[in-house]
Structure 1
Amino acid sequence: MSPIVPSASTHGAARQRRMPRLLRAATAHHRSDAADTVLAVVLTFVAGAVNAGGFLAVGQYTSHMTGIVSSIADHLVLGTSALAAVGAVSLASFIAGAATSALLINWGRRNTPRKQYAYPIALEALLLLAFGVLGVSTGAAHTVLPLALPLLCFLMGLQNATITKLSGARIRTTHLTGMVTDMGIEIGKLLYPHRDASRPAHLRVVADRKKLVILAVLVATFLLGGIAGGLGFSVFGYGFCVPLAALLFLLACPQFLSARRSRRL
């Protein structure tokens, strides 16, 4: 009997089943490299979109704490204390977002482990949705703008702390400095001329090609997210937040649904 060879359609169906599984696993409490990568790609896209769209909304990037701290120093030197205070509020909001993520994850780890990473992602989705709906419904810049900057900074801190905790500090999604630095390190290893396999392991210079590819993908994803966010805000205004919130809900919801099914059983 001749062996059964899977058809192209079978392989396609398998790939289609695998992707929903990866989406379901993206915020699961049991982590894998594949799940971390999927979540990182989605969150990096959202961060790029929020950062670029937020710049058009409030005239300031909301994930670059280095730049914000530098601006605080500049404004203090120039005597523009009101603008320095705005920077301080932005910094405090980012820190508050990161602290909130840690609180939610640690509480979830003790009480509902299955949903520990879904909590901060769901909160980010809710706040992003509320921000978009408020902006669309009021249509008044003076109503939304005072809330926009601290809220967007809070969201970026929340997101960055979440991916940092679940990936063991291997991945950041809201800023590129660390990613680009790591890319440079791996490229330097790749170009290093003395790669003698006979050398002791601790003296070998070996590039992590997989890491380099993932970092390049994340940088490109942030750029694509920024383009999408800039175009989205230009065309739809604050409504550009709604599809981003829906994408985050798509990641978080499977953990809440599976927990509900488990209770029924």
Structure 2
Amino acid sequence: MLALVAGFVNAIGLLGFNHQPISHLSGTATLIGTEIADGSLTHVFHLVMVVISFLVGAAISGFVLRSGALKLGRHYSKLLFIEALCLFAATYLLTQNSEYGLYLASAACGLQNAMVTTFSGAVIRTTHVTGIFTDLGIMIGAKFRGEVFDKRKATLFLLIISGFIAGGTLGATVFAIYQFKALLIPAMICLSLAISYSIYTAKAGHATNHK
């Protein structure tokens, strides 16, 4: 679901901001280089702000998640709630033709990517799939060498890739109809995930206490 959210947001960025990605920084960093070469300082400043926003989002996640990976707790629901707020605010600002909305959307993606990275111990990313495809390629190559193929891990990777592509498809479809109001959908998904995770952790904690 988080990969779907990222793919959705990124599709809106690509369609609504001169083909500018939001959920990852590789393309943005490249654009910074090309704009510097063109001498367009205004565009450079805008792109740098996108990068800084992503970094701020990741920093928020790093501040909230003080403990190690794979620990059940309410911190994740807090971060999902913050991500939802960022996307709701981004929707409003973008419908008002404010570029600050783009910065909030970028911060939401940075927060999500850092959250999942911390949770998975730097194994999984959800806001881009370059690393996922790389890991899959490594696994396939190792299989041909005779090593055991981790089907569970491969299934997870394929689900993330499918979610990201599905999010991009859905984002492009809804954006064509509702423009930037389409961001309300990933915002609602994040809010729903935050509430669901809060309920799950509460029940898990209650069960543990009874044991």
Superposition TM-score, scaled by structure 1 size: 0.69
Task: State the shift of 1:168 in Å.
Answer: 1.2
**Partner residue in 2 for 1:235:** 177
Task: State the shift of 1:191 in Å.
Answer: 2.5
In the superposition, relative to structure 1, how do residues 133 and 79 fare at CA in structure 2: closer, same or farther (>3 Å)? closer
Q: Deviations over 1:69-94 (max 9, x none)?
A: 22212222222222222221111111
- Contact kept, 8 Å, 1:133 with 1:242, in 2: the verdict is no
**Partner residue in 2 for 1:120:** 79
1:37-48 alignment to 2 at 5 Å? 42-48=1-7
1:130 to 2:89 alignment: yes
Distance in 2 (alpha carbons) for counterparts of 1:126 and 1:76: 33
1:57-136 alignment to 2 at 5 Å? 57-59=16-18, 60-106=20-66, 114-135=73-94
In the alignment, structure 2 segments of 5+ residues that lack a partner are 207-211
Q: Secondary structure at the match of 2:65?
A: helix
**Partner residue in 1 for 2:209:** none
Give the superposed CA RMSD.
Answer: 2.3
Distance in 1 (alpha carbons) for counterparts of 2:93 and 2:35: 31
Q: Deviations over 1:220-239 (max 9, x none)?
A: 21111000011111112222
1:221 to 2:160 alignment: no
Q: Secondary structure at the match of 2:58?
A: helix
Equivalent residues, number? 200
Task: State the shift of 1:163 in Å.
Answer: 0.5
1:171 to 2:144 alignment: no
Letter aligned with residue 236 of structure 1: Y
Q: Secondary structure at the match of 1:217?
A: helix
- Contact kept, 8 Å, 1:105 with 1:119, in 2: the verdict is no
- Contact kept, 8 Å, 1:51 with 1:226, in 2: the verdict is yes
- Contact kept, 8 Å, 2:91 with 2:101, in 1: the verdict is no
- Contact kept, 8 Å, 2:88 with 2:183, in 1: the verdict is yes
Distance in 2 (alpha carbons) for counterparts of 1:225 and 1:115: 26
Aligned structure 1 segments of 4 or more residues deviating by more than 3 angstroms: 254-262
Task: State the shift of 1:133 in Å.
Answer: 4.2
Q: Secondary structure at the match of 1:114?
A: coil
In the alignment, structure 1 segments of 5+ residues that lack a partner are 1-41, 196-204
1:209 to 2:148 alignment: no
**Partner residue in 2 for 1:244:** 186
- Contact kept, 8 Å, 1:49 with 1:228, in 2: the verdict is yes
Distance in 2 (alpha carbons) for counterparts of 1:49 and 1:133: 17
Identity across aligned pairs (percent)?
Answer: 32
1:4-83 alignment to 2 at 5 Å? 42-59=1-18, 60-83=20-43
Superposition TM-score, scaled by structure 2 size: 0.85
Distance in 2 (alpha carbons) for counterparts of 1:216 and 1:95: 27
1:149-188 alignment to 2 at 5 Å? 149-188=102-141
1:131-150 alignment to 2 at 5 Å? 131-135=90-94, 139-141=95-97, 144=98, 146-150=99-103
In the superposition, relative to structure 1, how do residues 212 and 256 fare at CA in structure 2: closer, same or farther (>3 Å)? closer
